[in-house]
Amino acid sequence: MARMRKAVWAASVLAYASQTLAFGFPDCVNGPLANTTVCDTSDSPSARAKALIDMFTTDELVSNTNSGAPGVPRLGVPAYQSAEEALHGLATSPGINFASSGNFSFATSFPAPIHMSAAFDDLALLAVGDVISTEARAFSNANMGGLDYFTPNINPFRDPRWGRGQETPGEDPFRAAQYALNYVQGLQGGIDPPQLKIAATCKHLVGYDLENPPGTNRFVFNAVISQQDLASYYTQPFQSCVRDAQARSVMCSFNAVNGLPACADPFVLQTLLRGYLGFDEERWVVADCDAIEFLFDQRAFVPDFVHAAAVGMNAGTDIDCGTTFGDNLGAAIQMNLTNSSTLARALTRQYSSMIRLGYFDPPASQPYRQIGWSEVNTASAQQLALELAAEGLVLLKNLNDVLPLSTSKTGTLALIGPWTNATTQMQSNYAGPSPFLISPFAGAQAAGFSVVSALGTQINTDDTSGFAAALEAAMTSDVVVYAGGLDTSVEAEGMDRTTVTWPGNQLDLITQLAGLGKPLVVLQFGGGQLDDVDLKSNPNVSAIVWSGYPGQSGGTAIFNVLTGQTAPSGRLPVTQYPAAYVEQVPMTDMTLRPSASNPGRTYKWYTGVPTFEFGFGMSYTTFVPGFASTPKASYAIQALVAAAPRDAPLDRAVLDTFQVEVQNKGAVKSDFVALLFVNTTAGPPPFPNKELVSYARVKGVGPGSAATVKLPVTLGSVARTDENGNAWLYPGDYSLILDVPTRAMHSFRLTGTQTQITHWPAAPSS
């Protein structure tokens, strides 16, 4: 039990604050490494890394296989920590030392990933990655942080109960793939640049999307996933992150996949990752924190920790976020369970990445080594955080155009609910100290409202003692804003929900507030969705705004949108299911397609009626989107394949680029998110409802104006995946579907013979 408690502790980001190592860079001029190959900038990263690792003794190899590595003092190789976190800003973690005050005591805190994803603004995501990597370099140059970051989390948000869904881009694998492509590009300084800005880690490979549903937990869960679902859903974001964005690292997950723990599965780490996805030898795999220890602790997969370390290393896990490798690989070598050359290969992979980071190069020749504190929390970073917070807000209901509110016509505004004075609540998890935190209350005051406030109730309680004060405040006001929903006290790492209803007695309070007859705006915070069916149907609830986790400027962003200074334009990145959904399918059922025991998962396969659809989001103006010109009526499969570039994967070849014209027929300038879906009855059943194939955010369309946006659609997006995981182009009828709800459609045909465009690796026999 003591070791189990240690593992749970180590896996928690809350424990990271006390695990720190000294930082520094090797001295290639005067130190022991001077004049060695590792310091020769004209040689290749892999050759330089190999030359360094060849100098390590066996004991030094073993000790440096942990993420908190002691380095090799006799060679002048400093201690190194690769467990930094930057999910949406530099976060409290072993590899970042925040000062107690003054310089380097904080960093820009952007909205949570689920919130940023709702903006569907890829250029902004790229900019966020660039800001975070700039601030990371500033910390690194001050010896306050490292250069490897455990981000992004791109596991699809498959089940609405998942506590860590807030860390992800949402339920759609195409959206998650594009999120990864842009975010990683911003973090690393481009796609496969000669010198990396920082190194990103895509996590968690693969099938990790639950914490602790009744009867199991993430450390021991065996995710039973068909090759069809593995190829078409669970690994799609990783294909983008690894193959397209060229992320330098991948984190293998706690869970098993079809019987084998992911961090000890040669199919996942070798056949799939290094073979199919092309994860080359200059990139490395890190185990989720203490996942190697759990091979023995809870799975009884191996007889002891020595075997656990050997099995993980031999399968292709290079670095252990934990201590099991360092504590046990020496014994494993003595027992001939693994060998020093396997450890050398693992460390060569990691140090190849470090060389690409300029770790051994002269500071004067590296622009990134010149970044300092003045480039942290800049005015442009603050503005970007504010803009994305506003862009990610989603207007779900707006009866009689009660929004936007007018400060001049609103005498008093009552702000009620457990998010009224939220500060750190707005940051979500995996966050660090921020330069400031603007609460909804502060945002309302800054917007010019005369504000009265009352807590009313907490996030998850049956205590009604605050109801009277809340109702009194509402009765004396002209407009009521209720700020509540979820927070990390009910959804977080290690904490799934068991329902998707409003927790505690919040809904009771909202219902009583609605009965007063005042205009009532409900702000629904949190990463997961709540079933808003009662609020949606209640004529006395005037407006609903999904408010996510908006970050450091959340209060300002919310009231910028509520007052119309910024028009709402976000779209839901997840389906809002009715409450009964959780009774229809257990979290542990990994299948996506509907069956007798499963109503189907995500907007692609769900057979019920959602309370609000994936992609739904209203505006303050009237947009009329449509195809700018009539698209083609047919495409020949063989011609498409023949015309595809030969230097890129066939599934990334473009079917066509569709031009969409967006007309603003209303009176408010606004952004518009254009969403393009495809559905078809071609290929084998069952058929998805529709699938997102392209999107774009159109900026600032003025009243009476129009804008045209190009939406490219790839062959892979219109392909269907067979039971073996292979993608095919099937002849038949297809429909392009524009917007949610549908605003325009176009039908086309694929002609010719069915053609396979991907070749998923053969799964091991059971």
Across 577-593, average pLDDT: 97
Q: Is it the case that residue 98 has pLDDT exceeding 80?
A: yes
How far from chain centre, in Å, is Cα 757?
28
Which of 184, 73, 82 lies closest to 133, judged by CA? 184
Better pLDDT: 301 or 274: 274
Length, in residues, of the chain: 766
Q: Is it the case that residue 12 has pLDDT exceeding 70?
A: no
Q: Which residues pair with 635 in a beta bridge?
A: 750
Give the residue extent of every domain in the chain: 384-605, 623-756
pLDDT band at 298 (very low <50, low <70, confident <90, very high): confident
Distance CA(744)–CA(623), nearest Å, equals: 12
Beta carbons within 8 Å of 553's beta carbon, 6+ residues apart: 382, 385, 386, 389, 438
Q: Is the dihedral of CA 117, 121, 122, 127 positive or negative?
A: negative
pLDDT band at 410 (very low <50, low <70, confident <90, very high): confident
Does the N-terminal peptide bond of residue 519 adopt cis geometry, omega within 30 degrees of 0?
Answer: no
469-525 pLDDT per residue, tens: 999 999 999 999 999 999 999 999 999 999 999 999 999 999 999 999 999 999 999
Give the phi and the psi of residue 756 in degrees, each rounded to 5: -80, 130
3-class secondary-structure state, position 576: strand
143-183 pLDDT per residue, tens: 999 999 999 999 999 999 999 999 999 999 999 999 999 99
Query: In the structure encoding, which two tokens stand for residue 212, read together?
Result: 């602790």
Q: Is it the case that residue 5 has pLDDT exceeding 60?
A: no
> By the 8 A CB rule, do 547 and 553 touch?
no
| Whole-number pLDDT of residue 49 | 98
Give me the half-sphere count of Cα atoms (radius 13 Å) on the Cβ side of residue 249: 40
Alpha-carbon distances of 440 from 21, 41, 445, 496, 510, rounded to whole Å: 38, 52, 9, 26, 17
Q: Is it the case that residue 10 has pLDDT exceeding 50?
A: no
Amino acid code (one letter) for 623: F
Task: Please state, for a pLDDT cut of 70, what percent of the chain lies above it.
Answer: 97
**646-658 core/surface letters (b: 16 or more CB in 10 A; e: else):** eeebbbbbebbeb
Q: Is it the case that residue 613 has pLDDT exceeding 70?
A: yes
CATH 2.60.40.10 fits 623-756, yes or no: yes
Q: Is it the case that residue 19 has pLDDT exceeding 70?
A: no
> By the 8 A CB rule, do 430 and 88 touch?
yes
Query: In the structure encoding, which two tokens stand for residue 193, read together?
Result: 């640049």
Tally of CB atoms within 10 A around 336: 8
Across 261-284, average pLDDT: 97
Domain 384-605: state its class: alpha beta
Tally of CB atoms within 10 A around 54: 11
pLDDT band at 21 (very low <50, low <70, confident <90, very high): very low
Examine the residue annotation and report whether 43 is marked as an active-site residue of this protein: no
| Whole-number pLDDT of residue 6 | 38
pLDDT band at 766 (very low <50, low <70, confident <90, very high): low
219-246 pLDDT per residue, tens: 989 999 999 999 999 999 999 999 999 9
* DSSP class of 243: I
Query: In the structure encoding, which two tokens stand for residue 288, read together?
Result: 């989720």
Distance CA(7)–CA(356), nearest Å, equals: 32
Q: Is it the case that residue 330 has pLDDT exceeding 80?
A: yes
Which of 765, 762, 648 lies closest to 270, judged by CA? 762
> By the 8 A CB rule, do 136 and 149 touch?
yes
Amino acid code (one letter) for 181: L
Q: Looking at 130, 288, 531, 739, which residue is catalytic?
A: 288
pLDDT band at 300 (very low <50, low <70, confident <90, very high): confident
Across 682-705, average pLDDT: 97
Q: Is it the case that residue 384 has pLDDT exceeding 50?
A: yes
The secondary structure of the chain in percent helix, strand, coil, rounded to multiples of 5, reads: 35, 20, 50
Q: Is it the case that residue 15 has pLDDT exceeding 90?
A: no
Across 254-262, average pLDDT: 96
333-347 pLDDT per residue, tens: 999 999 999 999 999
> By the 8 A CB rule, do 140 and 574 touch?
no
Burial of 42 (0-12, 13-18, 19+ CB in 10 A): exposed
Distance CA(348)–CA(138), nearest Å, equals: 26
Across 323-329, average pLDDT: 98
Q: 């605003």: which residue's tokens?
A: 743
Tally of CB atoms within 10 A around 405: 23
Q: 């069952």: which residue's tokens?
A: 686
The chain-wide mean pLDDT, for the chain, equals: 95
Distance CA(63)–CA(394), nearest Å, equals: 49
3-class secondary-structure state, position 165: helix
| Whole-number pLDDT of residue 240 | 97
3-class secondary-structure state, position 258: coil
Q: Is it the case that residue 93 has pLDDT exceeding 90?
A: yes
For 375-402, the three-class secondary structure string (H helix, E strand, C coil) is: HCCCHHHHHHHHHHHHHCCEEEEEHHHC
618-648 pLDDT per residue, tens: 999 999 999 999 999 999 999 999 999 999 9
